[in-house]
A and B are shown apart, each in its own frame.
Chain A
Amino acid sequence: MPELDPIRDGAPDSNACEEYNALSRRRFMLWSGAATAAAFTTPLWFPRVTFARFPSSRDVIVSVFLRGACDGLTMCVPYGDAAYYTARPSANAATPGIGVPPPGSVNGCTDLNGFFGLPPGMANLYPIYQAGHLAIVHATGSTDPSRSHFDAQKFMEVGKPADPNIFTGWLGRHIASVNPADPTATVRAIGIGYQMPLTLAGSLKGVPVPDLSTYNITGSSATRTARLGSISSQYATQLDPVKTASANTLATIAAMSTVGAGSYVPPTTTFPYPPTSGTGRSTFALALKQTAALIRADIGVEAVAIDKSGWDTHSAQGVVAGTMHTNMLDLANTLRAFYEDVAIDAGRNVTIVVMSEFGRRVAQNASLGTDHGHGNVMLVIGRKINGGQVVTQWPGLGAGQLYQNLDLNVTIDFRDILAEIVNKRLENGNLANVFPGYTPTFRNIAVAG
């Protein structure tokens, strides 16, 4: 970090009123020339404000989608259900299966409540659970019967099962149906990736960004503004979605240059992120770390959607070592680091929700993997989440208790969880718009205000 005078460089005066600070920062961003500001000024993530410019009790939401159908029976182990080990012999058995061993065993799970446990790959989430900020919902998911990844993802992301004629996402409709938390925000929703996730489709001022630190036009910095202006002026006459995408692109280039995500250093080293550069780097960790910078920069982004793939474990699943274990470690360690970094920071409340299109078959297959199933887990993390509990109406894994005699039943609709978050944490009362045709049952997963 170069030595800079924070006042000269446009930082707010901590003694001034909020309105003045907001105004002065906006003005600074304007006259500094947004596209080139980052190279010469303190990035906005840099700690210097003690209050949000537009204090709102509305959370920033980070929606993580685990593509490929994660195995919820591994991610939160129902070790207390004897049928679990019938369907999946323990990894410690003479002929090892893919059951995660019970607490106290070699590679055993960490007990949560005497019935469920976290596998070794997820154990680093336990302190969040203990702190009361992680709720795990089990036997949840979509009631749509599809075991197609692509149909099931679509129905979950649009927030309405079995409706092929709905093309916007639940979170996109939320953004579109509330006033901005920050009236001056130029970017409100970001999907970290190359395409806009369906979850955010329909949002206003929403854009996909593969890497927050490099979102700028290449070539000479001296001619950037002129080239961007010339190109984008031609897109202004295009039809949507291209026209709006162009406007969003311009706004996002300017916004990202002020965030300075590339230089972000978390203020705490309590639990570091997995490596975000070099061999073995985690793209998921990079995405969350940049999201932390984005949240600290306080530019009015309200929703971030992030994908994490690699969960389609039909063979050699690797529940305590191997493929899924490694993927869970990356997931859990990143979420833990993000939690320690910003989710417990009092400056801005954050809710993280983790979901997947469906769960996996209760019985393991001959490849020591699992085929497509039905019910699954969701994770919800946040300071205003009623954590420290496994929220479930456990249907059981025994004979006669399974969906189509194969899979974990869905006893809590995923929309109950999302709707409660949208209502209590995102302060949107218009749930009929976000989840059309559905009356959710709140599960006391979050507190309001």
Chain B
Amino acid sequence: MSQIAQPQGLGTVVFTTAADDYPAPSNRAPKFFGDNRAARRVVDRLTYGFTRYEMDLLRYKGLEGYIRYHLNPAGIDDSALDAYIAANYPALVMTPQVLSTQQSGDLFNQMVRSRLMRAVFSRRQLFERLVECWTDHFNIWIRDNPPSFLKVADDRDVIRASALGTFPTLLRASAHSPAMLTSLNNDTNTAAAPNENYARELMELHSLSVTGGYSQSDVQQVARCFTGWTYISAAGATQWQFRFNSGVHATGSKTVLGQVIPYQSGASGQQEGETVLNILADHPSTRSFVAYKLLRFFHSHTPAQSDIDAVAQIYASTGGDIKAMLDHVLHKAVALAAPPKFKRPMHLLASTLRALSAKVVFPNNLQNPLAAAGHTPFDWQAPDGYPDSLQAWSALLLARWNFGSSLMNNEYGNPTSNPPTNVSALYTDTVGDAVTAAAVVDAIDAAAFQHTMPKAERDALLAYLTPASNPGSTKIREAMGMAVAMPSFQWY
């Protein structure tokens, strides 16, 4: 099967992450000599979970080559997925004006499903992980109104467009995003009675951090600087695009973090907000906070201060170059000695589908387990983004245990258009013609875990698969579901 195939009678694109469906690495001489565990750690830290293909890439590119490969996503051919996304999620390329005419539930579904498909099937895996990191950092609740449609543009024009540039560029792009401005009420921030919502979260969540050294007065002054930052409300092709409305801009000079920002009249008034963004982007607290966020996402739930300082130093010396900071973080994160991180539910779902080389026929119902675990993309209401801590995600284990169970019970398959179902192909690809319990567990360990499953978990599956001589397909399916519910698969 090629990487995209038309299954019988469905006309639906099937995607798989199976290694033999991907182009072979150009240079076949191995350059990475770590064992399976070491290789899995490297791949797990750069992607949404190891696949046979990514493991091969690492072996033939070597550690440095593999990191460089993923740090330059523009050089990775992702045209197959791009075509699928374009064909199935047309809203993603619409202008804000056209988006405003669309049904919000449909936009929500297109955003969530495309996010999930990209996480599972994009070959620009590190880029997609980074997108998730910044999506949380600049969180916008998609079900807010109007961000339901503006978030589609924000995701494309802010987060994805600037994810791998510099942090100051990303910060500025977000500040000019109508989705951000409306969700934090800056569209109604006017001289008469400034609205502090955006000003506060800009400093607390996007740049300085809550301990970054600003006062209530700074919040009020920043709010005054941003009076008039809104969107075009007049009907037409440019409706819902950024606009500075000088008519409601606060007069008088402002003092932000001890720095006087002189009043500028007319259209130049926008420069006051731009100055604030420059001050924040260059602030030591911002450097540390961004360093902390990157380390927390890619390296450890609880980054060490010395690591934060090192990454902040790279921010200072490179003007906030995300690629440079990430390069440093990844080199720390891929070490076997780095502390493991607990997968968030979407990560668990994506990594399961990747490990099992799932052929996704019908992604729509894959939203269900994300909702059941409380981790639907773009659906965190508060502006701080989904939490990324062990404490937050380790209490609701049941959703994790159920995911594999429901997947292998075909609860996420296409309810109307079988065959082929997700599960039968997934089952066949993983287990092949294994019959005995021992052969089945070997097959699951090999195909889905790249021979990294802990012995205790193998033994637990063996004990479940009775009679050992021929446990039968129902129990084998259940064991596959159990395998991804086991503790070792919750960490990366």
Contacts and interface: CB of A to CB of B under 8 A. Distances in A.
Asked if A pairs with B, the answer is yes
A404 interface: yes
A194 B409 contact: no
A253 B398 contact: yes
A68 B382 contact: yes
Interface stretch (B71-79, B83-91, B355-363, B482-490): B482-490
A170 to B, nearest CB: 17
Given A219-B409, A231-B485, A241-B394, A366 B463 contact: no
A118 interface: no
A195 B487 contact: no
B411 interface: yes
Contacts of A193: 374
Interface stretch (A23-31, A262-270, A309-317, A385-393): A309-317
A199 to B, nearest CB: 13
Contact of A314 (B185, B387, B391): B185
Contacts of A217: 398, 401-402, 405
A246 B195 contact: no
A348 interface: no
A231 B489 CA distance: 12
Contacts of B395: 195-196, 207-208, 241, 245, 248
B139 to A, nearest CB: 12
Given A147-B219, A253-B398, A369-B195, A219 B406 contact: yes
Contacts, number: 153
B460 A215 contact: no
B457 A234 contact: yes
Given A195-B374, A367-B188, A230 B482 contact: yes
A314 B382 CA distance: 13
Interface string B186-203: 001111111111001000
A238 interface: yes
A194 B374 contact: yes
Interface stretch (A9-17, A47-55, A148-156): A148-156
B396 interface: yes
Nearest to B405: A219
A179 interface: no
B260 to A, nearest CB: 22
Nearest to A236: B487
Contact of B210 (A148, A201, A248, A309): A148
The contact size tier of chain A is 35 or more
A372 interface: yes
Contact of B193 (A249, A364, A406): A364
Interface residues of B, number: 58
Contacts of B409: 218-220
Contacts of A443: none
A314 B482 contact: no
Given A201-B391, A217-B401, A367-B188, A231 B382 contact: no
B275 interface: no
Nearest to A406: B216
A369 B185 contact: yes
Contacts of A241: 390-391, 394-395
Interface of A: 67-68, 146-151, 193-196, 201, 207-208, 210, 215-220, 223, 226-228, 230-231, 233-235, 237-238, 241-242, 245-246, 248-249, 252-253, 309-310, 312, 314-315, 363-367, 369, 371-372, 404, 406
28 contacts: A148-B200, A150-B204, A194-B374, A195-B374, A195-B393, A196-B391, A210-B372, A210-B374, A210-B399, A216-B398, A219-B405, A219-B409, A226-B464, A230-B460, A230-B461, A230-B482, A231-B401, A234-B456, A238-B487, A241-B390, A241-B391, A245-B397, A249-B398, A310-B381, A315-B185, A366-B189, A366-B193, A369-B195
- Which 6 A-B residue pairs are closest in the complex by CB-CB distance? A194-B374, A367-B188, A366-B193, A314-B185, A314-B197, A365-B193
